[in-house]
Amino acid sequence: MSFQDKSLKCVDCGTTFTFTSGEQEFFATKGYTNEPKRCQGCRKAKKQQSGNSNYGERSYSTN
């Protein structure tokens, strides 16, 4: 299968970014069927934000 670069629009910041043929090939080898929705900058920001959250952590009181 031959891939060609695609221009996509980021859902967070609205900028246009390129989904390269190499990235498309990588996605295909991993079995991913959806195209990315965020540009690289917004993906990094979202990953960093979710990494700094306390999601899943619980504190238990011993009282």
Complete DSSP assignment for the chain: -----EEEE-TTT--EEEE-HHHHHHHHHHT--SPP-S-HHHHHHHHHHHHHS-TT-------
pLDDT for the residue 27: 95
pLDDT for the residue 2: 86
pLDDT digits (tens, 9 = 90+) for 28-40: 999 999 999 999 9
pTM attached to this predicted model: 0.69
pLDDT for the residue 58: 56
Residues of the chain with pLDDT under 70: 1, 52-63
